[in-house]
């Protein structure tokens, strides 16, 4: 009996150690999940580059590039400037947009807003290409410049991690704020070459080549990864909904996006706790609804979303560009802010639990950020915050868990 029991145990051990039977459908599903994640990771990689630039973290921006990567600043009608490797690329970005210094400088600005991606994964899923629009507000030591252009980037998957293998930037316009911008280098600019065709633009993930490799992932694990991507989209929709409601001063709708006990913090001003207080904070920007001649547009750029393990908590981080004005009074302002928001599930639905906003710049539109810097005091009276602001932590960058690693 004892020998029989041990024999059965040995047989079971061999069975459990044996390779699982092939499941082509599961292998194909695992490959499809990974390829879909890859397209998202490429976008997040470029957006993280913009977020690092916002705070002058040029070494971190350079570290997103592969060791043999190139950064080409192409004047189209002038000789191109090529930087090779993360160190050279960091130095170029630091000198071009950071005033030659690492980190944020008092009175400086290095806001790179990079959006409108056209991403195409390679058939083998190991490389990708993407095209982006760039709008840059930058300047230091009393200078202010506006610059814009097109980025064509290459990405590579190595060691399970995506990196930027080449970035080719084609500036289209540039100029000092006071004088306005002109075509880069003057004259007519040639068309920027693009990596896609009319047919391939709408196929970000082309059909894979060959049979899918065997996967060790279980169906439940793959389902969790799909759930994460769906939740990222849900969080993105809520963040965008907040932006649209805010633009139109739809304060009731804004408040409905918050969880019970929600919190808003504005850097340097204070904290508003609970929905009633959040509504008071919103009223500091004026009563609900846009009046005649008012502009309150605040589009967001380079938003990254991270879902916490367990799927009941999330963060979104991005850059907000404020285009504000009172046309009837001939007044207008630019504003640049970073937001780092926390979301939670409440009764099965995602809600904003904490909204933390960190102003980087507000300026009179007629003067520009080189000459005008407006620092808003904490509201008083009915709109006063409930608590003082949190201690500063490098102007908001490490104030929450870091963005998830790019796979």
Nearest alpha-carbon partner for 70 in 82, 62, 61: 82
3-state helix, strand, coil split of the chain in percent (to 5) is 30, 35, 35
Determine the topology of domain 229-396 in CATH: Nuclear Transport Factor 2; Chain: A, (3.10.450)
SS3 133: strand
Q: What percent of the chain is modeled with pLDDT above 90? A: 83
In the block, residue with structure tokens 């947009």? 97
The model's pLDDT over 327-378, given as tens digits with 9 standing for 90+, comes to 999 999 999 999 999 999 999 999 999 999 999 999 999 999 999 999 999 9
What are the residue ranges of CATH 3.10.450.50 in the chain? 24-216, 229-396
77 token code pair: 């009608």
pLDDT band at 106 (very low <50, low <70, confident <90, very high): confident
**Is 70 exceeded by the pLDDT of residue 396?**
no
Pick the CATH number of 24-216 from 2.160.10.10, 3.40.50.720, 3.10.450.50, 3.40.50.300: 3.10.450.50
pLDDT of res. 15: 32
pTM (2 d.p.): 0.90
pLDDT of residue 1 exceeding 50, the answer is no
Predicted pLDDT of residue 392: 65
- State both tokens at 69: 């990567």
CA dihedral (198, 203, 205, 211) in degrees, to 10, reads -100
Judge whether residue 292 has pLDDT over 70: yes
Specify whether the CB–CB gap between 107 and 373 falls below 8 A. yes
Contact 258, 266 (CB under 8 A): no
Where does 267-312 show beta strands of DSSP type E?
Answer: 270-273, 294-297, 300-307
13-55 pLDDT, tens digit each: 433 344 556 789 999 999 999 999 999 999 999 999 999 999 9
How many angstroms separate the CA atoms of 70 and 84, rounded?
A: 5
Q: Half-sphere exposure of residue 289, counting CA atoms within 13 Å on the CB side? A: 2
Inter-axis angle of helices 219-247 and 24-54, nearest 10? 40
């Amino acid at each position: 009996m004892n020998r029989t029991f041990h024999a059965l145990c040995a047989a079971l051990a061999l069975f459990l150690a044996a390779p699982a039977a092939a499941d082509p459908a599961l292998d194909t599903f695992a490959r499809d999940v990974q390829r879909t994640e890859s397209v998202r990771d490429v976008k997040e990689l470029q957006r993280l580059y913009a977020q690092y630039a916002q705070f002058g973290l040029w070494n971190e921006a350079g570290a997103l590039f592969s060791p043999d990567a190139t950064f080409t600043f192409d004047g189209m009608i002038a000789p191109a400037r090529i930087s090779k490797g993360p160190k050279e690329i960091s130095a170029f970005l630091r000198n071009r947009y950071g005033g030659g210094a690492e980190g944020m400088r008092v009175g400086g600005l290095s806001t790179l807003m990079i959006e409108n991606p056209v991403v195409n994964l390679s058939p083998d899923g190991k490389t990708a290409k993407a095209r982006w629009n760039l709008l840059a507000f930058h300047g230091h030591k009393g200078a202010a410049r506006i610059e814009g252009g097109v980025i064509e980037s290459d990405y590579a998957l190595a060691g399970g991690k995506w990196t930027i293998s080449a970035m080719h930037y084609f500036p289209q316009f540039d100029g000092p704020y006071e004088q306005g911008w002109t075509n880069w280098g003057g004259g007519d600019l040639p068309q920027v070459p693009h990596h896609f065709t009319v047919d391939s633009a709408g196929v970000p993930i082309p059909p894979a080549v060959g049979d899918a490799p065997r996967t060790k992932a279980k169906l439940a694990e793959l389902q969790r990864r799909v759930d994460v991507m769906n939740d990222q989209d849900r969080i993105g929709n809520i963040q965008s909904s907040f932006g649209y409601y805010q633009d139109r001063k739809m304060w009731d709708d804004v408040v409905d996006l918050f969880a019970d006990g929600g919190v808003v913090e504005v850097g340097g001003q204070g904290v508003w706790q609970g929905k009633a207080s959040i509504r008071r904070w919103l009223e500091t920007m004026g009563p609900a609804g846009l009046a005649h001649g008012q502009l309150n547009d605040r589009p967001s750029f380079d938003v990254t979303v991270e879902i916490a393990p367990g799927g009941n908590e999330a963060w979104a981080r991005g850059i907000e560009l404020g285009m504000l004005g009172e046309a009837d009074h001939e007044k207008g302002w630019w504003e640049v802010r970073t937001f780092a928001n926390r979301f939670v599930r409440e009764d099965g639905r995602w809600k904003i639990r904490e909204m933390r906003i960190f102003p980087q710049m507000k300026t009179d539109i007629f003067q520009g950020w080189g000459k005008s810097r407006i620092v808003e005091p904490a509201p008083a009276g009915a709109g006063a915050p409930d608590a003082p602001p949190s201690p500063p932590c490098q102007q908001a960058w490490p104030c929450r868990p870091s963005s998830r690693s790019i796979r």
